[in-house]
């Protein structure tokens, strides 16, 4: 990987419009002009945290290296080397070429989103509309995502999952979603799904997870994903966010009912189980401690159903 990075640095293609990345399927490099659908964000001052706060998008989505180049097709994901691109390519290719065929943005009230249909084999890029207004009582700005017909044609209640960090990539995207936070910067990836539940497996999520060896979808029914800023402000989702969504779903465990707990059979004290205690942002600030702390727990057998 170091040799590949040195080759990239010697090329001298520093302007985003000239950056390229090699497609393993084509075996050659091409240079494309930036797509109007490509998104970018400002680079705030990084906070002191265990994870690398990188809101700037011109770093490798796999290893966070700054000497990265845009994917030549979508212009929405950065890779520092062919090795990193090949690691992500089986997942990235599901959406990569869709961005060039996506229709123009219908209106300023539409944002680009990733739609995971429950019956289709692949996820889809789409434009998701939202409404906004000012509350007559306190003057605050409100926004509402219009998820119909993606989550169903009825006025269903929805639930949300917010992806604010990707520990697999040592990445955190935001500061400001915690109520006690004094800073409001960055963004999160918001996953929206039906609150009533759905017995049907989500085929497009299964396809997205299959290159990583995960054979079960943690979410059922249709799902949409968007970018959200503090204050419920939305913007176009980037294809680099797709990598973070997949990493999140790989490690997501839905709440399950514990049927019974059986103590591990042993003739002496049970061996401790080593783990990591993860503090939320507010707790780490209040206690002035690290976000991650080594911890040991008594070992037992958990029988889940």
- Higher pLDDT, residue 285 or 50: 285
Q: Name the average pLDDT for the chain.
A: 73
- Per residue in 72-106, pLDDT (tens digit) is 999 999 999 999 999 999 999 999 999 999 999 99
Residue with tokens 């800073």: 183
- Per residue in 173-200, pLDDT (tens digit) is 876 565 555 556 678 899 999 988 777 8
Domain ranges of the chain: 105-251, 258-304
CA distance 190 to 228: 6
- Higher pLDDT, residue 305 or 167: 167
- Per residue in 12-39, pLDDT (tens digit) is 333 333 334 444 343 333 333 333 343 3
Beta-strand ranges (E) seen in the chain are: 52-53, 69-70, 78-79, 110-116, 124-134, 141-145, 158-163, 165-166, 171-172, 174-175, 185-186, 188-194, 223-229, 233-235, 258-262, 272-278, 292-298, 301-304
Residue with tokens 């700037």: 56
Question: pTM of the prediction?
Answer: 0.66
- Per residue in 126-156, pLDDT (tens digit) is 999 999 888 888 877 788 899 989 998 777 8
Contact 26, 20 (CB under 8 A): no
- Higher pLDDT, residue 284 or 198: 198
Give the pLDDT score at 140: 78
């Amino acid at each position: 990987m170091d040799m590949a990075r040195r080759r990239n640095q010697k090329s001298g293609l520093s302007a985003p419009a000239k950056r390229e990345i090699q497609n393993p399927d084509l075996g050659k490099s091409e240079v494309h002009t930036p797509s109007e659908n490509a998104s970018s964000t400002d680079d705030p001052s990084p906070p002191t945290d265990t994870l690398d706060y990188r809101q700037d998008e011109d770093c490798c989505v796999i290893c966070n290296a700054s000497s990265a180049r845009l994917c030549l097709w979508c212009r929405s994901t950065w890779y520092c080397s062919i090795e990193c691109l090949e690691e992500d390519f089986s997942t990235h290719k599901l959406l990569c070429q869709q961005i060039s065929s996506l229709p123009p943005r219908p209106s300023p009230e539409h944002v680009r989103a990733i739609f995971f249909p429950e019956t289709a084999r692949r996820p889809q890029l789409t434009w998701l509309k939202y409404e906004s207004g000012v509350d007559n009582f306190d003057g605050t700005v409100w926004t509402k995502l219009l998820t119909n017909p993606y989550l169903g044609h009825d006025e269903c209640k929805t639930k949300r999952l917010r992806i604010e960090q990707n520990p697999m990539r040592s990445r955190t995207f935001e500061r400001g979603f915690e109520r006690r936070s004094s800073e409001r910067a960055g963004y999160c990836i918001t996953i929206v799904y039906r609150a009533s539940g759905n017995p049907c497996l989500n085929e497009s999520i299964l396809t997205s997870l299959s290159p990583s060896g995960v054979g079960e979808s943690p979410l059922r029914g249709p799902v949409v994903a968007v970018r959200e800023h503090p204050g419920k402000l939305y913007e176009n989702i980037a294809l680099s966010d797709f990598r973070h969504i997949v990493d999140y779903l790989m490690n997501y465990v839905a709440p399950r009912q514990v049927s019974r707990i059986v103590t591990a059979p042993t003739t002496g004290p049970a061996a401790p189980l080593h783990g990591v205690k993860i503090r939320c942002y507010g707790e780490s600030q209040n206690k002035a401690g690290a976000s991650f702390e080594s911890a040991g727990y008594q070992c037992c057998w958990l029988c889940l159903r």
